[in-house]
Amino acid sequence: MATTITGSDLTVTVNDNITLNNVSYGGSTSALSTGCNQVVQRIVEVADMAAPEVGQTWTSLFNFSTANDAGVGIKLEFQYARVTNLDDTNYILLQLETVAANNVLMFKLDAGESYNITNNAMVALTAAAPATGYESTSTLSGIRAAADTDPVDVEIMVVLKTA
């Protein structure tokens, strides 16, 4: 079976501006990814965190592997992801996991905030980075979230490009 999907360009644009004392600051930048042909976009209810002594309840938003499946994309085809906290009150903790065991990055997203991921190569360490040199990057393997005190709706959009 031949696909009938025609790849398309993804444009991600970031605009920021502020005016202080009648002087405008800010700018705009865009990044282009050509030939994208897969999009996964959904709204997921993220569970609230359990009591600190029990640990946190993490809701899986998306995973990356070597084969496509429900809620899974091929890590080498990754182009872009956006996670948006749709709540009007509560924050979430966003967790980006690497293929290296126990290495994660976490970010707090307040109500209404978004986080864009434009590259699946990252460095996450369980100890301080060395004073000299750079650590090797690892590939993003999963995106998870935990809500503050009540369940929170989160939108995730992932764009992939098959070879």
Which CATH number does the domain housing residue 156 bear? 2.60.120.770
Distances (CA, A) of 17 to 23, 96, 109: 10, 28, 20
Query: According to the model, what pLDDT value does residue 137 have?
Result: 80
- d(CA 97, CA 85) in angstroms, rounded, equals 19
Query: Range of 83's domain?
Result: 36-160
- d(CA 151, CA 146) in angstroms, rounded, equals 8
Query: According to the model, what pLDDT value does residue 148 have?
Result: 85
Q: What is the pLDDT along the chain (163 residues), one digit of tens a residue?
A: 577 888 999 999 999 999 999 999 999 999 999 999 999 999 999 988 865 545 667 899 999 988 888 788 888 899 999 999 999 999 999 999 887 766 788 899 999 999 999 988 887 666 676 666 667 788 889 999 999 888 999 999 999 998 7
Query: According to the model, what pLDDT value does residue 159 have?
Result: 95
Flag whether 125 is in a domain: yes
Provide the 8-state DSSP code for 56: -
Domain total of the chain: 1
Backbone torsions φ then ψ of 85, nearest 5 degrees: -80, 115
Helix (H) or strand (E) holding 117: strand 114-117
Flag whether 97 is in a domain: yes
- 149 in Cβ contact with 46 (< 8 Å): no
- d(CA 109, CA 146) in angstroms, rounded, equals 10
Flag whether 115 is in a domain: yes
The reported pTM is 0.86
Flag whether 137 is in a domain: yes
